[in-house]
A and B are shown apart, each in its own frame.
Chain A
């Protein structure tokens, strides 16, 4: 039975973690994730949650502890943000290439400097090539649902890859909203037990994990990892379908909103997609064919599906909350550009990349309306003068 709840994003993530029941939770508190780490600690202290909570001295250690736990054969989770994720950097590819099943909540926050505690996607976008699966969440409901699905994906015997689940710092992590929760038993039955393929602690069947691979075999390891990540798209959809039957809430690789007959589209991740959807509704009433593509699964990148969804549009803006300094555009823009390059289709919309909302800069209805207006201008001109620009910035 669904339970109606009023929670912040952090509360919702902590509730998901309580129901997921990791055997090990190793985390270091960092704004804006702190509330979540504290709440899980409280559950453990109160005896509500039977978890080995490891209060590590740094994020380097939290990820190390999770890697050890996952390889030993138990369910391991953590949560972090911003510089905390950066401090884990060395361990992220190890967690992925050793094929652990760690699930990590990331509360998106900007990188310093200047010092900032608010939302950018610098942290998780910076970690996009670490070999993890990445899921993005618009609101507290999606964060809760994605975390539960992430565990099932990560622990699948054909996948065995860690999953990062992201939500926007403060905008979602600290705002109270309405959501529906599953019963504890439903989550337990949905996930089942974690069965490690080669648990390190199985003394009668000893294995070596994390051994050295020299130039003669390193490539093959990486190729297998790469293929496993690409193949996980199917499993992610299977898990989404099973979750939809359980919860009544449908998830896909991305959300297409009013895209089928759209002329102008925005591609965006996380909370600003909600604002964009509201603007699409307004523009549609005015007769403007606006649409939205909200990416949920960013790694692996659903290239073919995204091209299919966007190819008939006239003009697209890819809005990103991070800058790939000195690049030809931010991560999602360059991925979509590459996806169109390899697609058999000749149809290609005009495409522009806007950087928005850095360090928590509020993005409102007017900002998004201006983007759709700029797409109409681009379409009339029939070309893009500059494919990359900062929105909302003082000149």
Chain B
């Protein structure tokens, strides 16, 4: 279980974190690894700060609980930092992936970060340009598997295409795939 990666997502209700953790888990499992996508349900209203969790491993695990010491923190909406300590329980070398238009240095100063490794991607802008609406979840999924290469980009794109084509029009599916690719390409870190 030494290769277990624990990822904590911080977001607001309606930004697609639940879909992201579930779809990522399904993609990793299809790649014959072990994974969990566990949304934390609160009062289910748009805009409320929420958490969601992913665990990835090459070995079975049986952790049916929240993540207090994440290896990776995904910040889908930086405005939740006013309400939640997103760095709670992180390790010195935990990765923080932030959806923001700022540089890694600016994020470090803004969040007063003493440790961790910061990665940034402007997922909202990517979503706006590809999907035409500010849904940052799919570009963030692309960015996440770039910095946590548990599966290839192709495996993720296949799974998203398979799931989305049952719910959305071909145009929306294509736009999401493009958003994932851009998130994957445009993420940059310290």
Residues of A within 8 A of B (CB): 4-6, 8, 117-118, 138-139, 168, 170-172, 174-178, 271-275, 277-278, 362-366
Contact = CB atoms under 8 A, between A and B. Distances in A.
Nearest to A368: B65
B25 A6 contact: yes
B46 interface: no
B62 A178 contact: no
A278 B147 CA distance: 27
Contacts of B22: 8, 176
Contact of B35 (A6, A117, A362, A366): A6
Given A176-B25, A177-B25, A362 B41 contact: no
B63 A278 contact: yes
A47 B136 CA distance: 36
A365 B62 contact: no
Given A138-B62, A174-B41, A178-B35, A6 B29 contact: yes
- Name B's interface SS: mixed
B65 A363 contact: yes
26 contacts: A4-B29, A4-B30, A6-B25, A6-B35, A171-B38, A174-B38, A175-B39, A176-B25, A176-B29, A176-B35, A176-B36, A176-B37, A177-B29, A177-B37, A178-B60, A271-B64, A272-B65, A273-B62, A274-B63, A274-B64, A275-B65, A277-B62, A362-B65, A362-B66, A365-B63, A366-B68
Contacts of A363: 65
Contacts, number: 72
Interface in B24-55: 25-26, 29-30, 32, 34-39, 41
Interface residues of B, number: 22
A174 B44 CA distance: 14
A278 B62 contact: yes
Given A174-B41, A175-B37, 16 more contacts: A4-B32, A6-B26, A6-B29, A139-B62, A171-B65, A176-B21, A176-B35, A176-B36, A176-B38, A177-B29, A177-B35, A178-B35, A178-B60, A271-B64, A272-B64, A275-B65
Interface of B: 21-22, 25-26, 29-30, 32, 34-39, 41, 60-66, 68
A175 B62 contact: no
Nearest to B57: A178
Contact of B41 (A118, A139, A177, A274): A118
Max chain B C-beta neighbours (<10 A), residue from A118, A178, A272, A275 = A178
B64 A175 contact: yes
Contacts of A172: 64
Max chain A C-beta neighbours (<10 A), residue from B35, B65, B68 = B65
Contacts of A175: 36-39, 64
Given A175-B36, A176-B26, A275 B41 contact: no
Contacts of B66: 362, 364
